[in-house]
Amino acid sequence: MVRAAFLVLSILFVLVGCREKSPIQGEEVKADYFPLAEGNRWVYVGGSADSLADTITFEVAEMETLSTGNPAWKIRRNWKRLGQSGVDFFYIEKRANEAVLYLSKTDPNPDVFLKLPLSDGKTWSKVTGRMVKDPEKEPLNITKTFTVTFADTVTVSDKTYEKCFKVESHEKAPDATLMSTYDWYAPGVGRVKSVMRSSSRDYKIRLIDHALH
């Protein structure tokens, strides 16, 4: 759950440039749903309910080498919340057919969080962790399932983006949904808004500024 909280509450920004598909399955169109380059920057406001008082900025720092020997982009996250601020980093490795998150260069358990290319109707799942409910029984697997849908037009911060995709994910234990996330991606921009939903609250972010190189 610690890793899941980092992924969502830190507003992990998926860095994906890929060939996407149109709303008609099987018909491909060329589109970059997250332009990845050194110096690219995205600024968001976020918060619970209608109070978007947090500010989160993501910037692509540089390419570094993971302990596996593979190259990955180092991502800088600057955040401001409730009078506090901070900076942290994580790494994104983009493979031929998936994107992988590393919390550090030596992360022994990275997360495959996106399958490429995105296309309408695409689904996949992965085991993200284990939950102990009864010490006398075997731990229960926590599974995260993903579904991609064509979202067409999305309006965020008075800007309208066309040909968007929505990636919906649900993290579940055998008897409960622990967390659901909804992310919208626009071609040539990247993620433009997100919603994280748990049993206790909703957390939302929306893009207010970006600069691409």
Give the residue numbers spanning the domain of 122. Answer: 2-211
Q: What is the pLDDT along the chain (213 residues), one digit of tens a residue?
A: 445 444 444 444 443 333 444 454 444 445 778 778 899 999 999 998 667 889 999 999 999 999 999 999 999 999 998 889 999 999 999 888 888 889 999 998 888 777 878 889 999 888 877 776 666 777 788 899 999 999 989 999 999 999 999 999 999 988 888 999 999 999 989 999 999 999 888 999 999 999 998
Q: What is the reported pTM?
A: 0.81
pLDDT of residue 134: 67
pLDDT of residue 94: 86
pLDDT of residue 128: 78
SS3 190: strand
Give the CATH number, domain containing residue 104. 2.40.360
SS3 12: coil
Number of structural domains found in the chain:
1
pLDDT of residue 126: 85
